[in-house]
Each structure stands twice: as C-alpha cells, then as structure tokens.
Amino acid sequence: MQLGPYIALLGVCLKLILKLVLPVAHLCLVTWIAIAISESQDPSKYMAWILVFLLDFPVSLFLIPIQYVLVAIPLGIPEVELANYWLPLIYLGLIGTIWWYWFPLFLARKLKPKDTDDT
C-alpha cells in the first residue's frame, strides 16, 4: 500500500485548514465578543477586546494610533463607543482576519524545505 496519495491529501487538507478555518474562527470570535459587549451592562465590558488584541499581536498594535487619531475627529459617535467598540470591531474584524489568513501561509512558505540541488 502506497502512502503517497494519502500524504498529498493530508497536505491539501492542512492547507485548507490554514487558509479557511483559522480566519473564519477568528471572525467568529470577533463577532461573538462584539455581541457579548453590546449586550453587557458591565462597565468593564470593553476589556473583552484584549483577548483578540493578544491573538492578533503584531497587527493589533496599529490599532492604538488609529484610535488616538480617529477619536480626536468629531464623527458624531460617542467617543467611548467609537474608541472601545466600533474601531476594535472594524479593525480587528477586518485586519485581524486578514492576518489570520496571511500569517499561516507565510509560515508554511518559510517552513517549507528548500529544494537543494547537489549536482
């Protein structure tokens, strides 16, 4: 029994997981946290974003200057709600999900063995 086709199928399934499951799981987590925040009456409810902030670590750091700049612009949305709900929701939901699509592909490409020619 040859294992070649099964190993190739396993590689295809792993790529599918890396390309689709991780970004979709991230988007579901962001949506779930956004719904939990919107339904909560707890004053510290916005701290729930820290979980996603840590998961999206290098990319999430750019949210801090964006919040600083956009909160200073009068947009007609309450400042606390804009900085603590809408900006994290949009930024982490969009950029974080793209990050979880791109990052595993980047790692797979970097960890892929190089073709060496010994001739």
Written as tens digits, the pLDDT of the chain (119 aa) is 566 676 677 777 777 777 788 899 999 999 999 999 989 888 888 888 899 899 888 888 888 888 778 777 776 767 777 778 888 899 999 999 999 888 877 877 777 766 655 55
pTM: predicted TM-score of the whole model, two decimal places: 0.73
Q: Give the residue ranges of DSSP H helices in 1-119.
A: 4-16, 22-39, 49-55, 57-60, 63-72, 79-81, 87-111
User: Any residues with CB less than 8 A from the CB of 85 and at least 6 apart, and which?
Assistant: 34, 37, 38, 46
Q: Which amino acid is at 72?
A: A
Q: Given this model, what pLDDT does residue 27 score?
A: 93
